[in-house]
């Protein structure tokens, strides 16, 4: 009972934030060449810092497969 509440209120949002922040670090690395180890969560004054808020966590239209590339239609069904 308490575990479900703790999971919904604290654990899932925290893990979601950490995942989004990590992916933004990887994006910065791919785009600029700045390695992820060079960034810290405490560098809040740097404008180009990794930010979890840049990552979209839910599809904008509500359906995941609506944004899938058209090339998926050409694949054989498993």
C-alpha 73/C-alpha 76 separation (Å) is 8
Average pLDDT (59-66) is 67
pLDDT of residue 52: 67
- The 10s digit of each residue's pLDDT in 15-53 is 888 888 888 888 888 888 878 777 666 666 676 666 666
Residue 71 lies in a domain: no
- Residue range(s) defining the domain that contains residue 24: 2-55
Residue 75 lies in a domain: no
Give percent of the chain with pLDDT exceeding 70. Answer: 64
Q: How many domains does the chain have?
A: 1
Of the candidates 41, 48, 46, 45, the one whose C-alpha atom is nearest the C-alpha of residue 14 is: 41
């Amino acid at each position: 009972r308490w575990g479900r509440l703790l999971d919904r209120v604290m654990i899932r949002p925290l893990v979601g934030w950490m995942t989004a922040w990590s992916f933004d670090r990887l994006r910065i690395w791919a785009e600029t060449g700045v390695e992820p180890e060079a960034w810290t969560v405490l560098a809040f004054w740097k404008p180009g810092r990794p930010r979890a808020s840049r990552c979209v966590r839910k599809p904008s239209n509500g359906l995941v497969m609506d944004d899938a590339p058209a090339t998926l239609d050409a694949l054989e069904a498993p």
